[in-house]
Amino acid sequence: MTLVSEEVYEKKILDKVIDRLVDGVAKVIDKFKPGWSVKNRSKIDEWKLMFYAFNRSPPGLIGAALILGFIAIGIFGPYFAPYSYRLFLFIEHEETYLVPPGSTIVSKGETFYFPLGTDKYGRDLLSLILYGARVSLVVSMIVIALGVPLGIVLGLVAGYFGGKIDEIIMRITDTFLAFPALILAIAFAAVLPERLRPMIIYNEQLKTLLSIFFAADPRDAANFAPILSVILAIIIVWWPGYTRIIRGSVLSVRENLYVEAARALGVSTWKILTKHILPNVISPVLVLITLDVGAVILVEAGLSFLGLGAQDPMIDWGKIVFDGAQYFPDRWWLVLFPGLATFLAVLGWNLVGDTLRDVLDPKTRRSIEFKVKKKKLAATSEDGGASQ
């Protein structure tokens, strides 16, 4: 495929930043593989062109901004939260019970400001949302980091080897797909906590690690079990979709001439799978991943809303909505603000996923590139005519 030259683009500031980032990545790879950037110049140019196309998609840029905000809040939010999620002010300050947004409470010589109001325990809702973002971020990242590779590996093996191996893997996959994913996740999330809790409580290293991950107090170690159960439950029901997609793509790719040539040259099966087949079937998976991160956030919030996720005093967005639902609509802020946070996070991933689908598809990307080229050439022609 003939690529559009970079010069046809009227580069934005973001394009220049991307250029430097891509070139920086190439230099880093060169340190480990000398000469890599020279051999893969066309690949580097292709990366830049994909980013150029992405930068010209307003929904994609809005989605990227929302994702960056979600990640930033998930990482740093608990450290900037005005109050701890364990601070039950209602115990000593009854005036903090379900106060509306923007309230300032003076009680026993202390002044408290709650920009988003408080819950039934007098906890600051803004702080709870910031802590809940960490839980949603960690859960979604772990599910994708563990569930997706499992599905990819099984799909590669099933599609490439075929025969009995393919039959065994796909029948297991079909078994998982036959059950409604949410029902199966609920079943696993309900039975796993009691089996995980002793392991967490008596393992100091694991307890410390989970406390860091969830920005939680080690004293709440027993309440890490339900969240881990949700993670495992979602992973168990998430990998089959990736296995089926990868397997179908591999079936169409494995017979290509470059794969046959690699086999004839004695290239190992592992290298054929990772260097020749996987790069050519990964595009739809990348799109699906971005869409699935938002889906995982929703499923995790849904399981927490059903009482299977975070338990008091631990908190996440679904738990906040669950606690506030009994006071809705009179105490509307308990549902609106955590629901809005969930909506924006999921919307960001969906917008980026839709844009990536266009950018990674050569046909739609070429149409974007052609429009940019046409606009640039038209502007150049107008400037030339004006100067004459």
Question: Greater confidence, 332 or 184?
Answer: 332
What domains are there in the chain, each with its CATH number? 88-122 (no CATH), 130-351 (1.10.3720.10)
What is the mean pLDDT of the segment spanning 46-57?
80
- Residue 65 pLDDT > 90, yes or no? yes
Residue, of 171 and 386, whose pLDDT is higher: 171
pLDDT band with cut points at 50, 70 and 90 for residue 46? confident
pLDDT at 73: 94
Whether the per-residue pLDDT at 14 is higher than 80: the answer is: no
| pLDDT tens-place string over residues 238-258 | 888 899 889 888 888 888 888
Distance of CA 97 to the CA centre of its chain: 35
Written in H, E and C, the secondary structure of the chain is CCCCCHHHCCCCHHHHHHHHHHHHHHHHHHHHCCCHHHHCHHHHHHHHHHHHHHHCCHHHHHHHHHHHHHHHHHHHHHHHCCCCCCCCHHHCCHHHCCCCCCEEEEECCEEEEECCCECCCCCEHHHHHHHHHHHHHHHHHHHHHHHHHHHHHHHHHHHHHCHHHHHHHHHHHHHHHHCCHHHHHHHHHHHCHHHHHHHHHCCHHHHHHHHHHCCCCHHHHHHHHHHHHHHHHHHHHHHHHHHHHHHHHHHHHCCCHHHHHHHHCCCCHHHHHHHHHHHHHCHHHHHHHHHHHHHHHHHHHHHHHCCCCCCCCCCCHHHHHHHHHCCCCCCCHHHHHHHHHHHHHHHHHHHHHHHHHHHHCHHHHHHHHHHHHHHHHHHHHHHHHHHC
Peptide bond into 329 cis (omega under 30): yes
292-349 pLDDT per residue, tens: 899 999 998 988 888 888 888 888 899 999 988 888 888 899 999 999 999 999 999 9
**Given a cut of 50, is residue 1 above it in pLDDT?**
no
Percent of the chain with pLDDT over 70: 90
Q: Are the beta carbons of 103 and 117 closer than 8 angstroms? A: yes
8 confidence band (pLDDT: 50, 70, 90) = very low
Range in 43-52, 63-72, 160-169, 306-315 with the lowest mean pLDDT? 43-52
